[in-house]
Amino acid sequence: MKVYISGKWVDEEDAVISVFDHGLLYGDGVFEGIRIYNSRVFLLEEHIDRLYDSAKAIALEIPMAKSEMMEAVAETCRANGLAEGYIRLVVTRGKGSLGLNPYLCSEPEVIIIAAKIQLYPRELYENGLKIVTVGTVRNHPEAINPRIKSLNYLNNVLAKIEAINAGCMECLMLNHKGEVAEASGDNVFAVRNGEIITPPSSCGALEGLTRNKVIELAQEAGLVVQERVMARYDLYVADEVFLTGTAAEIISVVEIDKRSIGSGEPGIITGKLADLYSAYAQSNGYQL
């Protein structure tokens, strides 16, 4: 695999950065995870916009124009002959001193890694996920705002550890007020009486691009979607619950905290949205 590092494509073995990079020393940087379907980079412009917004929020100036960044992503896919797969785009603060001061760092490093995607097992899409609520509270919006996709993912990693220790692959995270925020790496939706609800990003969720696309596709299909503050109760009594994310796409949740959701099987509306989403993903994106 060829990896892009700050202007050059190098072999995987030569894809190295300094141990003084603040991305490593402090988790100081931002990233995106992007899918390639059918020789097209899916939602590329949206991912680039979110990356630059995340960077702006942490006062990191990306040393490339958005159009150059899009071409660098596309060229990395081409260089690796990828027609299906996954791109990890990372911008670190760059090499600095052993001190927090980001203004002492040289240039940010831009890293683009092309990979095969690690998906949930097929069986989980057919039967649905079982999840638990974890004690790790989602980052307070005035600490690290959850809308920033930063390299500091310890909040999510701690949640994931709790999920795995409880025998689950994903979990539900609440915000500091006890409201539903999101999963450790996915957004959460509920369906009740035909209406689809999801928490607003102000409740402590990343503004997921899969989430936004699912909302759009649902509305186009005539379904009612509402962003609303949600309690765990709203999930427990839902007819259907599902998660959305770049890696997971759309996956049903059939059990939360030992409460069976709806019929206990993946729901009809979830299935319909998953079909609409995959049809859309197969035929839209930045052509390689």
Site string for ligand PXG, 147-176 (x = CB under 6 A): ---------x--------------------
* Residue among 149, 177, 213, 272 flagged as catalytic: 149
**Residue among 109 and 186 whose Cβ is closer to ligand PXG:** 186
DSSP 3-state assignment of 283? helix
Please give the Cα distance from 207 to 70 (Å, whole number). 20
Calpha distance 253→272 (Å, rounded): 15
187 scored as a contact of ligand PXG (CB under 6 A): yes
Cβ(129)–Cβ(169) below 8 Å: yes
CB 162, min distance to ligand PXG, A: 15
Residue pair 38/45 in contact by the 8 Å Cβ criterion? no
CB of 107 to ligand PXG, least distance (A): 25
Helices (H), 15-81: 22-26, 44-57, 66-79
Residues 233-252 that bind ligand PXG (CB under 6 A): 244-247
Q: Does 186 bind ligand PXG (CB under 6 A)?
A: yes
Give me the residue whose beta carbon is nearest to ligand PXG.
33
Instruction: Write the burial class of residue 81 (CB in 10 Å: 0-12 exposed, 13-18 middle, 19+ buried).
Output: exposed
23 binds ligand PXG (CB under 6 A): no
Tell me if residue 116 is catalytic. Answer: no
Q: Can you give the binding site for ligand PXG, defined by CB under 6 A? A: 33, 156, 182, 185-187, 206, 208-211, 244-247
Residues with catalytic annotation? 149
